[in-house]
Structures are given as C-alpha cells and as structure tokens.
Structure 1
Amino acid sequence: MPEHAPATPDKRQVAASFSRAAGSYDAVASLQREVGARLLVRLPSLASARWLDLGCGTGHFTRLLAERFGAGMALDLAEGMLRHARPRGGARHFIAGDAEALPLRDGSLDLIYSNLAVQWCGDFAAVLGEAQRVLQPGGVLAFSSLCAGTLGELRSSWQAVDGFTHVNRFRAFGDYEALCAGSGLQVLALERRAQTLHFPDLRALTRSLKELGAHNLNPGRPGGLTGPARIRALAAAYEGLRTAEGLPATYQVVYAVLCKSR
C-alpha cells in the first residue's frame, strides 16, 4: 500500500497562484519545457489521436501536440492560464476543469498528456481512475510529475533556520509506483530522474518559484512576510551548498507512460 501522502494545497489556492503567474510563467519555465519535451519523446507511436493536454498551463505543449496530431483539447484548473493559452490556439476546446473529475465522456480519448501538473492533485488515485474512464481501450496516459526530494537543498537550508513548512511537499515515488500498479492501467514505463538547476543567488531562485506560481502553497507554511534576519540566515545556510555553477535546486521528476488494456 502507498504510504500516507503529504497534505496538499487547497485547489482554489493552486488555481489562484497559477492564474496570477500566467503572464510571467513562460519566461521562467525552462525546467517545464525540458521535462515536457522529454515526455513527448516517450509517447508511443500513434498515427492519430483524440488527445487532451491535462494541466495545459499557457498552452506550449498544446500547440506541439496539435502539430503532431491535429487539434485536440486542453484543460487546466487555473482560468488565468487558459486566458493566456486560448488566443494561441492548438486546441478546439480550452476547458476549466479538475483532473480528479474530468468533464469528458467515457472512452472519448486516445491520449492524455500531462506535464508537471498532477503533483498538485491530492487524490492521484482519482486522476488515474478518470484516465481509465475517459481513455478508449489501447489509449495512453503519459505524465510527468514531481516527487519527494524535490528542492531538497532549499528544504534543508530552511531547516537550519526554523521549523515551518517553506517548501512544497510532494508524494513519494513509491506512492506513484503503488498507485499506478493498482490503477488497472498497464504500466509501460515509470521512472524517476533528478534534474538540477543552478541560480546565481537565493533571490533568483525564490523569484523563479514565484513567477512560476510554484512557491510554497502547502498547509503549515508561515503566515505573513519572512523577516530579513531569517532571509539572511537562509541565504547563509544555502551558500554552504554552492557549486561552481551556482546555488543548486534539484527536482525529482517522475516520467510515466500507462496504457488502457484492449
């Protein structure tokens, strides 16, 4: 059985945070672009597909999917992201919706592509159940996500300062393994890969997280502004991790391809 998953943010907070970040997101989304491109490479060969970009964000991969398969559908919880994506095209329909309760008919899709979105879903078993429901036999769910250990450098640096939750917590990779194995979908591929970004200083890292809409959204985070003394203490702790390339920020990325049995 999967271990108890960490508490996840309120969906309204997630939607509001990413809606606010829609205008700045593309300029700082290098990790999201790289991970999404690696996920595209992992897609099985499909001559054509009725597809859904699940958690489409600003629609970058919606447009790439359309180039490969023709126009499909895109869904996101954040209406602000959809307002950004719609004018750029790629999908016949841009839908405001929840991955845990898809507003789609049974067996209506051949492919669900989801890049770095489902880590925000508290009930991942429901996400898998919805994929099972809306995919036709032989249909494919391909997703990337983040798991425990992500931003470990920032977490450990904060632990030297105080006991609050300052860094988003994600479910363990073992949870993904167990939930995918029990989903009724065939697991074609499931792996975890670490990817490290480097920043010149702490301010650049925290600004990047804020502009992505991915700053701390977890229950247990401290209220109000963080005082300058704590920021200085955090920066001093983080400096101990500096490499020749800068301050490291490591993401534990999950890649998965699942198929609905024929």
Structure 2
Amino acid sequence: MNAEQNRIALGENANASAMDERAVASRFSKAATRYDSIACIQKVIAHEALNNLPQKLSGNALDIGCGTGVHTQALSERGANTTGVDIAEGMLSVARESFPAPHFVHASAMSLPFESGQFTTVFSSMALQWASSPAIVAQQISKVLSHGGVAELAIMVDGSFSELKKARKIAQLVEATTPMPSTTTWVNAFQQSPLVLTRVITKDYVDSHSSIMSLLHSVKGVGAGETGKKQPPLSRRDIKKLAMAYQNISAVGSELPLTYRVSHFRLEQR
C-alpha cells in the first residue's frame, strides 16, 4: 500500500496532505543555504538525540529529514552505511555538496522508497512534525527497520512556540504557526504499529533572542513557518504590538525566550 492509499484508508485528505508537503519542501529548500548558520537550537536537539545512540554503529542507517546532511554524516562517522532522505531538494543539494560519503535521496517519510528491513538504525531529528500522518510515518519506519533494529526520533510536538502564540493572541494577531501533533498522538501511532516503544522523554528546549525580529527570523529563517493559508506580512504596528506583548508576558531580563517542546522516542523492531 503506498502513501496515498494509506491516507485514504485512514480517512485523510490525500490531496491536502500532498499540498502541505509541497509547501513544507518549498520553505525548507529556500532556507537551505542559511539553515546551518541559523539553526542553533535544532543542533542542540539533534546532538542530544544522537547521544541516545551508540557511539559505534554497524549496518545501514537512515536519517529521515536529513536537511543539510550534518547529522547523516555524524551517523556515517560512527561506522554505519548511511542514507539521508529529505523532501526538500534545496537541502539535499547542500548535503551532497558538503558530504560525498552518505547517500542522499529525495523522498518523504510518508513513503520511504526502501526495501523492507533494510536499516538497522533509523534516526530523525526535528523533521517528522511536518508529516501529515503520524500513523503512516510509524508504519513506514516499521517497514524499513530490520529485526532487532532501533529507531531514535526527536520530534517537535504540541506546546512548542507557546510564548509566541500567547503574545500574538494578546496583540490580537492571527495565529501563524502550524498546529503539531501531541506526544500522545505519536505514542498512539507507534503503539498501533509493529514497532515497540521503549522510551519517551519530552523536554522543553528554550532558545533566547535579543529582539522580536531576531526571534521571528529564527523561526522563518529555518523554514518553520506556517503551512496553512498564507498570512499577510506583519506591519510595523503589528510588530510593535507583538514586541510589547512578548516583553510583558515572557521576557527574562532583556531576552525573549522561545520554547521548542520535543519528544525523544526510542523504538525497536522485535
């Protein structure tokens, strides 16, 4: 059963899902050349996720949502024969230029183009939150993960960007970030698949910014903007209102915090 058939079977709107994925791919492709210089908190989260894996790996490893290939390369340096997949061609172009050793493939987590049981390790950090169906993602990971294999996934979940959402509401601005599945939604998806969920740790990672513009650029600059109906750009008046609201409700001294809520999942194929 392919990804479109899976979506139909689960009662999802396949065309809407495909459109969402194209929008996400376009945003991240545009962000590719500047991503590594901006994605500071993303690097911290990925580093922690990598630390949950053994320092020495063997067999084949898959990095889902590999982006610019930095963490795909890290898996390769641990000894695995590594493949990175991403929906954003722009990201893959940067990855291929930077790291010749790993193999990079244009593909979606919703439809992984690999043989059953091909990988002993599956890794993903800060990518799967953009998939339209956790259930399909779980089934796809189960398909490609070998018997005795391990998946280590860091997924941003509902509760992220809480300060920004609250400040926009107080400033009477429309919500602009994309709703994300909750940790519970992902747990249910994994438990309904053949995978065995052995660990869940949910943590808040807090990024800090000196101004509201810096904070907004940190989100948009890495491609993590809204995926729904495009909102008009903020006016100077809107930005001033937003900055005032943010300062009043969330500022710590002169810094504006932005929370990324991330669930670290460990899954095994038994």
TM-score by length of 2: 0.89
1:115–1:145 CA contact under 8 A, matched in 2? yes
User: What is the match of residue 193 of structure 1?
Assistant: 203
Show CA shifts across 1:96-134 (max 9, x none). Answer: 001010010111111111011000001111111011111
Q: In structure 2, what is the Cα distance between the partners aligned to 1:105 and 1:205? A: 41
Q: In structure 2, what is the Cα distance between the partners aligned to 1:158 and 1:73? A: 40
2:76 pairs with 1:86: no
User: What is the match of residue 211 of structure 1?
Assistant: 221
Show CA shifts across 1:119-151 (max 9, x none). Answer: 000111111101111111111111101111101
User: What is the match of residue 259 of structure 2?
Assistant: 250
Where does the alignment leave 5 or more consecutive residues of structure 2 unmatched?
1-11
1:1-262 correspondence runs (5 A):
10-44=20-54, 47-89=57-99, 91-162=101-172, 164-217=174-227, 219-222=228-231, 224-240=232-248, 241-244=250-253, 246-261=255-270
Q: How many equivalent residue pairs?
A: 254
Show CA shifts across 1:66-115 (max 9, x none). Answer: 11024411100000000000022264421000101001011111111101
Q: 1:47 to 1:253 in 2, by over 3 A?
A: closer
* Partner secondary structure for residue 193 of structure 1: strand
Q: In structure 1, what is the Cα distance between the partners aligned to 2:42 and 2:235? A: 30
Q: In structure 2, what is the Cα distance between the partners aligned to 1:150 and 1:243? A: 18
1:164–1:220 CA contact under 8 A, matched in 2? no
Where does the alignment leave 5 or more consecutive residues of structure 1 unmatched?
none
Show CA shifts across 1:166-216 (max 9, x none). Answer: 123211121122222222211121111011111001000111112211122
Show CA shifts across 1:41-84 (max 9, x none). Answer: 11257651201111000011011111102441110000000000
Q: Which runs of 4+ in 1 moved over 6 A?
A: none
Q: In structure 1, what is the Cα distance between the partners aligned to 2:80 and 2:265? A: 23
Q: 1:248 to 1:149 in 2, by over 3 A?
A: same
Show CA shifts across 1:202-258 (max 9, x none). Answer: 0001111122111222x2452x32222222111110111211260010111110110
Percent identity of paired positions between Structure 1 and Structure 2: 30
Letter in 1 for 2:253: A
Q: In structure 2, what is the Cα distance between the partners aligned to 1:68 and 1:207? A: 34
TM-score by length of 1: 0.91
Q: In structure 1, what is the Cα distance between the partners aligned to 2:64 and 2:72? A: 9
Q: In structure 1, what is the Cα distance between the partners aligned to 2:56 and 2:146? A: 14
1:157–1:237 CA contact under 8 A, matched in 2? yes
2:73–2:102 CA contact under 8 A, matched in 1? no
Q: In structure 1, what is the Cα distance between the partners aligned to 2:21 and 2:264? A: 23
* Partner secondary structure for residue 72 of structure 1: strand
Q: In structure 1, what is the Cα distance between the partners aligned to 2:230 and 2:244? A: 21
Q: Which has the higher contact order (CA 8 A, sep 6+)?
A: 1
* Partner secondary structure for residue 78 of structure 2: helix
* Partner secondary structure for residue 105 of structure 1: coil
Q: Which moved more, 1:237-246 or 1:150-159?
A: 237-246
* Partner secondary structure for residue 15 of structure 1: helix
* Partner secondary structure for residue 44 of structure 2: helix
* Partner secondary structure for residue 103 of structure 1: coil
